[in-house]
Amino acid sequence: MAVVLHLLVGVVALMMWVTVDSCPPYCQCRTILLDYRSGEEVDCSYLYMDSVPSISQGTLRFDFSDNSLESVPVQALRGLGELRELDLSVNRIQGTVPDDAFQQNIRLITLDLSRNHIEAISPNAFVGLGRLAKLDLHDNLISTMSTGVLLSVPVTTLVCLGDNHWDCGCQLFEAISQRPVTNRNSEQTCEGGEPECVSPPGLYELPISSMVGEVVCADGTTTVGMLTTSSTTEQLEDTNLTSSTQGGSGTSVGSSSTPQNLHVGENRATKRFLAPEILIFSAVVLGILMNV
């Protein structure tokens, strides 16, 4: 009886680790228990493949990192309704993540698109991912994001946006005002650090999570957040005093190379910055007159 039990244990262990019948060539597959469900883990990482092979519809975890994909494999992901974890990091995915890219992967808990060349995210790219706990977009080329992108994922989702090329203009301000990106989860962490502004020059390296206050866009219709930290004030002061572009309702933030869609309403920033200097100057003049 003891021999039979040992044989059974050996068979079960072998079933857990050997390549399953549906495993793609060169990939490694095994049976796992994830999210209270038994299914397959498919590991096709580090194979320099430029297309996703056919995998079992019962796959729970799919690792396709460190390959040569140039776009999100929307068609290959269709039908994978049991997928909980998807890793497409360190590929060559470029351009825009399209709408409904993961519409049939509604049970996803973790989605990793980091370390690619993604430049933009369509507003409905992540619609339907109601169970998503972590969305990793760090280390890409993303410069802005519409409000719909952030609102389409649960408020509890940890969104990793560090190491991108953020243009802190009106569109990003509006998105951040609707859904903060500083959510933290005790069980999840982000690589890439805090997302920071790359442009306009006056806001370079300032955290986008500091967006508060008010900015009036060039069309005069959108009022969204602006950075008002002490370090921002110093940089904005230098920028405003040297800016050559002035509008009727505000002073543009940045030099001549700064995008023209961002204006500080009614010169409030300039007035706030110059007030101390005016008081000091007045006091000096008054002192001179009294001595005379």
- pTM of whole model > 0.75? no
Residues in the chain: 292
Give the number of other Cβ atoms within 10 Å of residue 217's Cβ: 20
SS3 57: coil
* 77 contacts: CB under 8 Å, gap ≥ 6: 52, 83, 86, 101, 102, 104, 105
Report the alpha-carbon angle 159-160-162, nearest 5. 145
The terminus-to-terminus CA distance of the chain in angstroms comes to: 114
What residue type is 275 in one-letter code? Answer: A
Conformational region of residue 4, where left means phi above 0, alpha means psi within -120 to 50, and beta covers everything else: alpha
Q: What is the pLDDT along the chain (292 residues), one digit of tens a residue?
A: 454 444 443 434 444 444 456 899 999 999 999 999 999 999 999 999 999 999 999 999 999 999 999 999 999 999 999 999 999 999 999 999 999 999 999 999 999 999 999 999 999 999 999 999 999 999 999 999 999 999 999 989 999 999 999 999 888 888 888 887 765 555 678 998 889 999 988 889 989 887 655 554 655 544 334 444 334 444 444 433 333 333 433 333 333 333 333 332 233 333 333 444 555 666 666 666 666 5
SS3 235: helix
Whole-number Å distance between alpha carbons of 63 and 37: 18
